[in-house]
Amino acid sequence: MFTIGDFARYGRVSARMLRHYDAIGLLRPARTDPVSGYRFYEAAQLARLNRIIALKDLGFSLQQVGAILDEQVSVPELRGMLRLRQAELEAALTAAGARLAQVEARLRTIESEGRMSADDVVVKRTETVLLAELSGIAASYGPEDIGPVIQPLYDELCRRLAAAGVTPAGPGLAYYEDAPEESTGNTGNTGSTSDGGSDAVVVHAGMVVTPEALAKAGAKTDGGSGRSGTPTPTGLGFDVVTLPGLDCAATVVHHGPMSRILPTAQNLARWIDANGYRSAGYARELYLECPPDQEKWITEIQEPVVRA
């Protein structure tokens, strides 16, 4: 027989682990001295210990290991458990590969620019939100065309929300879509127009609101929530829309005025390309902080992406 120390050494485990296996009934010692409490093991028990270690290395819990060793798991069940573990490991490898690609992309950025980028990109899902909004047409998606349209929209939206007694429940959120070919006006009655054309975009300037606030203000929206993704008039001078979240968005935080957003957007575009994604539509802008001093503005850019 072996003492617990010798058995642990031959089995390549710790004595503490053997005591734990004894406590949970996974591997009992062949004999325990009734006076000293010392545990003793037989050489034949090394086979069971080796099976425990092998099953643990496959990722099974100790409870599952015990059931397998005691033949409480049938062969079809064991096959299913192994296939599930195989799928889990494959998913972990995929995730690790994505992280490796991000590390390699960051290394390339540091090597090319000689410094750490201040624009940290995070891929995540975004939530569905209820927005009160006004919209207008911009000649293009460029900052020089968006700025003159979106700022008046937000000024007017805030004025109309205040007049209706609706207090925003969250930050502003702007989103964009291609303008119809024959666009000659806007849906927010702000006077922003364009000649249409292939480059024109619809600018949606929204503020997060609650159904309760809309109902209290007397909004007429067939339930006060608006159809998913479709702006609905409220009768209060603004529309309401339930904007679906993005399943996969590459996001980055921009500091400062929106007139200087282009470098941040370009860094995001480079990250998307370097990390095996491609853009799936116009980016959204979540205005986290908008104090009077625009240098202190904090905006999150949310660009929908898919794997390339």
**Distance between CA atoms of residues 21 and 27, nearest Å:** 5
**Distance between CA atoms of residues 192 and 262, nearest Å:** 23
Check for a shared fold between 2-69 and 123-307.
Answer: no
Please name the residue that has the structure tokens 């090394």. 46
**Distance between CA atoms of residues 173 and 221, nearest Å:** 20
- Per-domain residue ranges of the chain: 2-69, 75-117, 123-307
pLDDT in tens, 205-232: 999 999 999 999 999 866 445 566 789 9
End-to-end Cα, the chain, rounded Å: 61
Lowest-confidence pick of 13-17, 113-117, 168-172: 113-117
Judged by DSSP in three states, 114 sits in: coil
The yes or no reply on domain 123-307 and CATH 3.20.80.10 is yes
The pLDDT of residue 193: 40
Mean pLDDT, the chain, integer: 86
What average pLDDT score do residues 84-92 get?
A: 88
pLDDT in tens, 170-180: 999 999 999 98
Going through the chain in order, the beta strands assigned E by DSSP cover: 2-3, 31-32, 39-41, 122-124, 129-138, 172-178, 201-208, 232-233, 239-243, 249-255, 277-279, 284-289, 298-307
| Residue 194 pLDDT greater than 70, yes or no | no
pLDDT in tens, 49-74: 998 998 988 888 999 999 888 888 88
| Residue 116 pLDDT greater than 50, yes or no | no
Contacts of 142 (CB under 8 A, 6+ apart): none
Q: How many CB atoms lie within 10 A of CB 250?
A: 23
pLDDT in tens, 153-168: 999 999 999 999 999 9
| Residue 181 pLDDT greater than 90, yes or no | no
The pLDDT of residue 303: 96
How would CATH label the architecture of 2-69? Orthogonal Bundle (1.10)
